[in-house]
Structure 1
Amino acid sequence: MSHPSQSSQFALLRQRRFGPFFWTQFLGAFNDNLFKTALLVVLTYDALSWTTLAPSLLNNLIPGLFILPYVVFSATAGQIADKVEKGRLARWVKSLEIVIMMVAAVGWYTHTLWLLIVAVAGMGVHSTLFGPVKYAYLPQHLKPEELVGGNGVIEMGTFVGILLGEVMGAVLAGHGDLGVHLVAGGTIVVAVLGLMTSSRIPASPAPAPDLVISKNPIAESLRNLGYSRRNRTVFLSMLGNSWFWFYGALVLSQFPLYAKDYLHGDHSVFVLLLTIFSLGIGAGSLLCEKLSGRKVEIGLVPFGAIGLSLFGIDLYFASLAYTNTAAVDFLGLLAQHGTWRILLDLLLLGVFGGFFIVPLFALIQTRCDPKHVSRTIAGMNILNALFMVAAAGVAVFLIGQGFSIPEMFLTTALLNAVVAIYIFSLVPEFLMRFLAWLLIHTIHRVSTVDTDRIPEEGAAVLVCNHVSYVDAIVIMAASPRPIRFVMDHRIFKTPLLGFIFRTAKAIPIAPAKEDPWLMEKAFVDIAQALHEGELVCIFPEGKLTRTGEMNEFRGGITKIVERSKVPVIPMALRGLWGSVFSRDPSNVFERSFARGWRSRLALAVGRPVPPQEVTPEGLYDEVLALRGEWK
């Protein structure tokens, strides 16, 4: 979709409604990972001066202690975020971070491991409290068309913060006592910077200020998940999001040994792998806005799932093709045969991971109850934590069964394909939107005119000229929300298009002389859909044009608005006549080559017509004027 007048998503960083919040969450992600990575590196390479516990035990204990608060306290954190103004809550959380890092500093300076362990758990609590704020804040301050771009920038910032924190933690921890002292002081400085940026976060009124916070976090967690399950699409999107964290945790946890035992690299090779993957996530997250046309485009989710499986499988074969056995640093690795294929697979895993996760976040934010956003995000954090714990369990099981690390990559990629097929079969809207997105981004270039006139909520009837077999798909791809199309019942019998429209819950209709019962049932279904606040689209001509000119509009639209007093929005498709999908009588091959690849289309949307002013003749004139001479 073309939106030439709209500014880049990075322009949000200069605005107070977004910039201070972005830097607050970025610094938090950076500090978390600077602290955790430094501690893990110190305990791996200098364990004896700190403890008699085995490094392997500590390497599993420390991440576990960080995740544990997510499982136990996420539901309570969600309640707090719905009850308390978010700017004030962010400042409380950042003040807590300063206290935690001061406790950690004492542990660093005195070599007191249990203080550092307490700080790890404390940072887990800090992140648990901030998690619901992070994603519930955005819908309050961003316009719907900014939400995908804003989420993309936040995801990019989160992963860049994680990457920089891990790299900095690893580098400083490798410099002995000086490095440890720099970590101790540096984490306090970053926490103070976080408090300073949070002080500029604008007020975000609490959606449920009278909420009574439950004193039983476990019971509240179960209640929270139970509430989220009422909205099936949102709950399955939460599961999809958690599956991504399962996938990421299972793959990323193998990077250290993969770098050491399979690539024969030193620590810099591990950092390189992490960097490439994180840059991919950031790039994919930012690309989502461009690929989605600045709206919540869940069609990108299946696209992301396909990439996660394809490049996970190729990573297995690329790993088998790597033959180097000499020890190398990251520069030496780049000179080895087969390295660039491995790095490209990791980069594209990250890119397609971004395509997968950003639209899911935006969908959850826009489809759940506005008064329950924070608690919904908290429920998702609980699921994320459980899935990450499950990923660790699956990794231990696979290693116990003798799986190599490349075989674990392959297993994860194949599991992803199975899970994706299962989720998309439960919510076919994902797959349907993907097919629509694919059509308008491969075969055609679609521009839109005034699509913001399609209401973001509430019932309305859309009427449009009928030029081709893919009219509904083009309209569907341009709309910010699902549409119930009224379609000729014969289209439901065509293999691919029939599947798409049945999936979209289209309403089949037949002429009265052919099937009067089906015709009457269609009008009943239309009235029910409008009563439930849905969008319904009809093609009043009743048939595809055979000449490129519009046919007379029939009287069905009058019958619809007599039953349901809703506005009618005229629309016009331009540029589809003569395409392979139209009924142009000329030679199909000649017109396909004449139009060229990615031919131009447009969808123009007119002003809503009040129900009392609707007539077939008036709507015909409106649509004809919108279409103009471009058929």
Structure 2
Amino acid sequence: MSPHSLIFNKKFWPLCCTQFFGAFNDNFFKNALVILITFQSMNLGGFSPEQLIALCGGIFIFPFFLFSALAGQMADKYEKARLIVYVKILEFFIMSLAVLGFMIGSLPVLLSALFLMGLQSSLFSPLKYSYIPQQVSSDKLVEANALLQSSTFLAILMGTIFGGIVVAIPGSGTFYVSIGVMGLSVIGLLFSVGIPKASSLDAKLSIQYNPFTATCNLIHYIFTKKNIRLPILGLAWFWFYGAALLSLIPGYGKKVLGGNEQVVIFLLTLFSIGIGLGCIACKMVSRHQLKLGLIPIGALGLSVFLFDLFFQFPNVTNSHQSLVMFKDFIKKPGSFRIIFDFSMIAFSGGLFFVPLMTFLQTTSSKPHLSRVIAGSNIIDAIFMVLASFTLIFLFSLGLNEPEIFLFLAVLNLIVTGYLSMSFMRK
């Protein structure tokens, strides 16, 4: 089998395409909604646009707390391919609700659709990550995770960019966004129908429908199993670090670099592409084996290049009143070093993520794998919310973006240093 054959493997590529169009649709819809709130005065009560955008993030994440435990149980009990089709059918109806919201200009309806998209994502996540080890041989598991994750970040990037572009079309932006979300949901559904069956891993499982009891039991199970606790904490830290950094990029691009929207979009693009390339590099280096040694290398890169961004601060601070376009930004001293640093931070994130996810999949008990992935999603959501509160606290202390970069770089060394030593002992 050739090194690239997994891309064309009928057990893998339908899932990968389903995930790609799902992630594309999520971010296409979310960013279109954010642009409407920010630039087209769509409001709700007395909330400011900034508060509404923050609310959107919370609305999308909240279902992961409520439904992840139930989603994990269902994915372990029932045949996964059929469940994935049902989830994609649900996405179609959710997007129909979103279209209604766009048609009548109702923000409450659109926020309801956003909440349901979070529900749909919480149901799909344990299905996709537990499906892969069932259908892909162990020597291809790193490659599968690398391809899935790199394509996902590409989809996130494309959805974010096109969502902003399409909704901004004068006079008919919401109409074209409506066509887009419905079309993407149909394409994802068509690909999901081609996913081969994956047998139930625990058909006799008795499902706990109380979300609070199920979530508490799942988290307790995770923290009593050291072999899965470590990778889950590592993945949660990845999302803490990523959520914090992505939240800082707009302010850094505008206030520190003096760039306009083009510069900010470019930095976000670097981030998505860099992670994807890091995932692919992990596949190439691993050569069909799990290489835990990539975790400390990726972790070190997450700090080293963030340190360098901090030390660039005195050289790049904006001294002009007007914001510069991308073509002017790249002419400024130090701009290529900043581009390199952002690219390498994201690349290091890809090296850090793939071995952690693969390790979690290979060490988890197979009958519990979907529930473990669901539990990981819950911990990830907690860490992302914690990242938001951490940034609020640091800004309240008067720190600026480069100084918070320094804080994150030091904290990353501490957290990943502990995780890396623990993995090396294993």
Q: What TM-score, normalized by structure 1, do the two folds share?
A: 0.66
For the 8 Å contact 1:43–1:50, the answer to whether it is kept is no
The match for 1:413 is: 409
**CA distance in 2: counterparts of 1:28 and 1:380, whole angstroms:** 20
The match for 2:102 is: 108
Relative to structure 1, is the Cα distance of residues 73 and 210 closer, same or farther in structure 2, using a 3 angstrom cutoff?
same
The structure in which a higher percent of residues are strand is 1
TM-superposed CA distance for 1:358, in Å, is: 0.3
2:261 is the alignment partner of 1:267: yes
**CA distance in 2: counterparts of 1:137 and 1:345, whole angstroms:** 35
SS in 1 for 2:258: coil
The match for 1:219 is: 213
Tell me the alpha carbon deviations over residues 388-408 of structure 1, each in whole angstroms, 9 at most, x when there is no partner: 000000000000000101111
**CA distance in 1: counterparts of 2:153 and 2:308, whole angstroms:** 23
SS in 2 for 1:96: helix
Q: 2:289 aligns with which of 286, 295, 298?
A: 295
Q: Residue type matched to 2:419 in 1? A: I
The match for 1:401 is: 397
**CA distance in 1: counterparts of 2:333 and 2:286, whole angstroms:** 37
TM-superposed CA distance for 1:231, in Å, is: 2.4
Matches within 5 A, 1:520-599: none
**CA distance in 2: counterparts of 1:330 and 1:42, whole angstroms:** 24
The match for 1:186 is: 180
The match for 1:205 is: 199
Q: 2:2 aligns with which of 4, 7, 10?
A: 7
Q: 1:61 aligns with which of 32, 55, 58?
A: 55
Q: Which moved more, 1:367-376 or 1:334-343?
A: 334-343
Q: 2:386 aligns with which of 384, 390, 393?
A: 390
Relative to structure 1, is the Cα distance of residues 51 and 11 closer, same or farther in structure 2, using a 3 angstrom cutoff?
farther
2:30 is the alignment partner of 1:36: yes
For the 8 Å contact 1:246–1:391, the answer to whether it is kept is yes
The match for 2:420 is: 424
The match for 2:273 is: 279
Tell me the alpha carbon deviations over residues 541-572 of structure 1, each in whole angstroms, 9 at most, x when there is no partner: xxxxxxxxxxxxxxxxxxxxxxxxxxxxxxxx
SS in 2 for 1:205: coil
2:351 is the alignment partner of 1:359: no
The match for 2:306 is: 312
The match for 2:227 is: 233
For the 8 Å contact 1:76–1:213, the answer to whether it is kept is yes
**CA distance in 2: counterparts of 1:301 and 1:49, whole angstroms:** 44
**CA distance in 1: counterparts of 2:170 and 2:51, whole angstroms:** 22
**CA distance in 1: counterparts of 2:172 and 2:46, whole angstroms:** 23
SS in 2 for 1:229: helix
Tell me the alpha carbon deviations over residues 560-619 of structure 1, each in whole angstroms, 9 at most, x when there is no partner: xxxxxxxxxxxxxxxxxxxxxxxxxxxxxxxxxxxxxxxxxxxxxxxxxxxxxxxxxxxx
**CA distance in 1: counterparts of 2:217 and 2:361, whole angstroms:** 19
**CA distance in 2: counterparts of 1:325 and 1:145, whole angstroms:** 53
**CA distance in 2: counterparts of 1:121 and 1:45, whole angstroms:** 22
2:114 is the alignment partner of 1:120: yes
The match for 1:479 is: none
SS in 2 for 1:177: coil
2:244 is the alignment partner of 1:243: no
For the 8 Å contact 1:324–1:336, the answer to whether it is kept is no
For the 8 Å contact 1:152–1:358, the answer to whether it is kept is yes
Q: 2:332 aligns with which of 329, 336, 352?
A: 336
SS in 2 for 1:253: helix
Matches within 5 A, 1:138-149: 138-149=132-143
TM-superposed CA distance for 1:48, in Å, is: 5.1
Tell me the alpha carbon deviations over residues 188-237 of structure 1, each in whole angstroms, 9 at most, x when there is no partner: 10000000000000001110122121121111111112222232021111
Q: Residue type matched to 2:204 in 1? A: D
Tell me the alpha carbon deviations over residues 307-327 of structure 1, each in whole angstroms, 9 at most, x when there is no partner: 101111111112332144342
For the 8 Å contact 1:263–1:325, the answer to whether it is kept is no
Q: Which moved more, 1:251-260 or 1:24-33?
A: 251-260
**CA distance in 2: counterparts of 1:96 and 1:400, whole angstroms:** 41
2:315 is the alignment partner of 1:321: yes
**CA distance in 1: counterparts of 2:360 and 2:106, whole angstroms:** 42
Larger Rg: 1
SS in 2 for 1:254: helix
Relative to structure 1, is the Cα distance of residues 84 and 320 closer, same or farther in structure 2, using a 3 angstrom cutoff?
farther
TM-superposed CA distance for 1:422, in Å, is: 2.2
Tell me the alpha carbon deviations over residues 156-176 of structure 1, each in whole angstroms, 9 at most, x when there is no partner: 011111110100111112224
Q: Which moved more, 1:355-364 or 1:46-55?
A: 46-55
**CA distance in 2: counterparts of 1:108 and 1:395, whole angstroms:** 32
For the 8 Å contact 1:314–1:345, the answer to whether it is kept is yes
TM-superposed CA distance for 1:249, in Å, is: 0.3
For the 8 Å contact 1:13–1:19, the answer to whether it is kept is yes
Tell me the alpha carbon deviations over residues 318-347 of structure 1, each in whole angstroms, 9 at most, x when there is no partner: 233214434212222122211111111111
The structure in which a higher percent of residues are helix is 2
The match for 1:160 is: 154
Identity of aligned residues (%): 39
**CA distance in 1: counterparts of 2:44 and 2:415, whole angstroms:** 43
For the 8 Å contact 1:231–1:368, the answer to whether it is kept is no
2:77 is the alignment partner of 1:83: yes
RMSD (CA atoms): 1.4
Q: Residue type matched to 1:373 in 2? A: L
**CA distance in 2: counterparts of 1:289 and 1:49, whole angstroms:** 45
**CA distance in 2: counterparts of 1:45 and 1:283, whole angstroms:** 33
Tell me the alpha carbon deviations over residues 471-519 of structure 1, each in whole angstroms, 9 at most, x when there is no partner: xxxxxxxxxxxxxxxxxxxxxxxxxxxxxxxx57xxxxxxxxxxxxxxx
Tell me the alpha carbon deviations over residues 276-325 of structure 1, each in whole angstroms, 9 at most, x when there is no partner: 01111000001112212211111111111111011111111123321443
**CA distance in 2: counterparts of 1:76 and 1:133, whole angstroms:** 12
For the 8 Å contact 2:147–2:279, the answer to whether it is kept is yes
Q: Residue type matched to 1:13 in 2? A: I
**CA distance in 2: counterparts of 1:143 and 1:57, whole angstroms:** 46
Q: Residue type matched to 2:316 in 1? A: Y
2:342 is the alignment partner of 1:346: yes
**CA distance in 2: counterparts of 1:51 and 1:165, whole angstroms:** 28
Q: What TM-score, normalized by structure 2, do the two folds share?
A: 0.97
**CA distance in 2: counterparts of 1:51 and 1:180, whole angstroms:** 22
The match for 1:516 is: none
